[in-house]
Amino acid sequence: MADDLERRTWEHQNDAVKGFTKRTSFHFLVHYETFHDIREAIAREKEIKGWRRSKRNALVETLNPKWVDLSATLFGRLGGPSHSLGMTMRGDSSHS
């Protein structure tokens, strides 16, 4: 979950934050959801993290079947931090 999706995407794409995406080099935004209530966003993130990888992949494929990187469409070329809410990355090998 991120309160500033553009900044968070830039951080992932530039390995600016330690963690899963830095270790695995996943740098594509393939799914996001927007919430007005932070509690709903947290609950949804926990729900999705509890799913098997195949179910998370199916969620992405319902709206983004070719796994296109959405960051360029949303933000243009990311030159640095600047705003939305929530993301999921494909290929999470630690949560099957």
pLDDT tens digits for the chain (96 residues)? Answer: 566 776 777 677 766 777 665 666 667 888 889 889 999 999 999 999 999 999 999 999 999 999 998 888 877 755 544 434 444 444 444 433
Query: What pLDDT sits at residue 87?
Result: 46
Angstrom distance (rounded) from CA 10 to CA 41: 20
Query: What pLDDT sits at residue 60?
Result: 95
Angstrom distance (rounded) from CA 1 to CA 48: 11
Query: What pLDDT sits at residue 43?
Result: 96
Q: Are 5 and 32 in contact (CB under 8 A)?
A: yes
